[in-house]
């Protein structure tokens, strides 16, 4: 796990986020779930949303394991394959009138949420990257827009081009975990309404995900772009001469051409 610690230290050095960078893995075999991971129902005595678990991990430094019995969000239970996609959901009942104006638009919205099949479903484990006792599937970093930009630049360092991401204002947990795993590509994540309401993600925060299999590439990109001058905090260009009001400029002229005294 020395490599995980190295990556976490590099993210801290180059990106300087105010919460822990995380590792995420979906365990299809319950026996492989780390025994020391906190289970919401067992250890906290209540069910939570996945976004709550992510915030606990990145703010408290906990490693949490979340299965069907731990989750309170029906959208997450559906998207992560713990429950079937029922017609009531598929028809857009949850989105219609809240996120979109018509059943037709609502169906499109729900159809676009990334989903696991029941066979792909498993226990979602999330914890601080540098402390994990396993190799994650996905690396997740929350930060401000400049920090996310820093990560995007690093992710493009070897390959060039741009990162493709989609935004819907809901179910960001599915984008974070499912979409990143299914596409094998980095994602810029716009925190959804639930993430802000239940996960208490702040207005200035965004997120970035990277398949762990590409972390060595991101590591090289962080160093390469740093050497190239792409850094955080963003340096301010200060090598200019300020302009002042006319009265100030007049005083400056008087300094240069003082009137004779006496």
- Across-strand partners of 100? 96
**Token couple for 91:** 């028809």
Residue 191 confidence (pLDDT): 97
Q: Cα(256)–Cα(246) distance, rounded to whole angstroms?
A: 15
3-state secondary structure 148-190: HHHHHHHHHCCCCCCCCCCCCCCCHHHHHHHHHHHHCCCEEEC
Of all helices (H) and strands (E), which one includes residue 225? Answer: helix 215-228
Residues whose CB is less than 8 angstroms from the CB of residue 126 and which lie 6 or more positions away in sequence, other chains included: 22, 23, 24, 53, 54, 57, 63, 64, 66, 140
Residue 259 confidence (pLDDT): 79
Sign of CA dihedral 177, 178, 181, 187: negative
Percent of the chain with pLDDT strictly greater than 90 = 97
The mean pLDDT of 169-193, rounded to a whole number, is 96
Tens digits of per-residue pLDDT, 23-32?
A: 999 999 999 9
The helix, strand and coil proportions of the chain, stated in percent and rounded to the nearest 5, come to 45, 15, 45
Confidence of residue 257 (pLDDT cuts 50, 70, 90): confident
pTM over 0.85: yes
The mean pLDDT of 141-153, rounded to a whole number, is 98
Residue 195 confidence (pLDDT): 97
Confidence of residue 214 (pLDDT cuts 50, 70, 90): very high
Q: In the predicted model, is pLDDT for residue 247 greater than 80?
A: yes
Measure CA 72 to chain center.
21
Q: In the predicted model, is pLDDT for residue 1 greater than 80?
A: no
Q: In the predicted model, is pLDDT for residue 10 greater than 70?
A: yes
Q: From its phi and psi, is residue 139 left (phi > 0), alpha (psi between -120 and 50) or beta?
A: beta
Confidence of residue 240 (pLDDT cuts 50, 70, 90): very high
Tens digits of per-residue pLDDT, 96-129?
A: 999 999 999 999 999 999 999 999 999 999 999 9
């Amino acid at each position: 796990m020395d490599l995980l610690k190295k990556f976490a230290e590099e993210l801290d050095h180059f990106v300087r986020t105010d919460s822990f960078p995380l590792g995420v893995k979906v365990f299809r075999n319950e026996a492989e779930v780390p025994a020391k991971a906190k289970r919401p129902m067992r250890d906290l005595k209540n069910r939570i949303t996945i976004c709550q678990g992510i915030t606990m991990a990145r703010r408290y430094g906990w490693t949490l394991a979340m299965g069907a019995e731990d989750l309170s969000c029906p959208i997450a239970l559906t998207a992560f394959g713990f429950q079937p996609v029922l017609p009531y959901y598929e028809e857009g009942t949850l989105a219609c009138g809240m996120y979109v104006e018509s059943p037709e638009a609502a169906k499109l919205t729900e159809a676009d949420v990334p989903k696991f099949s029941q066979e792909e479903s498993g226990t979602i484990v999330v914890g601080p990257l540098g402390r994990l006792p396993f190799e994650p599937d996905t690396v997740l970093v929350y930060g401000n827009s400049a920090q996310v930009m820093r990560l995007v630049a690093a992710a493009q360092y070897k390959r060039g081009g741009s990162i493709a991401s989609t935004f819907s204002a809901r179910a960001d947990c599915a984008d974070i975990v499912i979409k990143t795993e299914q596409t094998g590509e980095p994602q810029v994540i716009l925190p959804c309404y639930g993430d802000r309401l239940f996960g208490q993600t702040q207005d200035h925060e965004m997120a970035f995900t990277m398949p762990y299999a590409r972390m060595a590439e991101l590591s090289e990109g962080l160093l390469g772009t740093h050497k190239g001058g792409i850094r955080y905090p963003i340096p301010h260009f200060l090598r200019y001469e300020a302009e002042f009001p006319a009265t100030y400029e007049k005083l400056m002229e008087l300094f240069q051409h003082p009137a004779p005294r006496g």
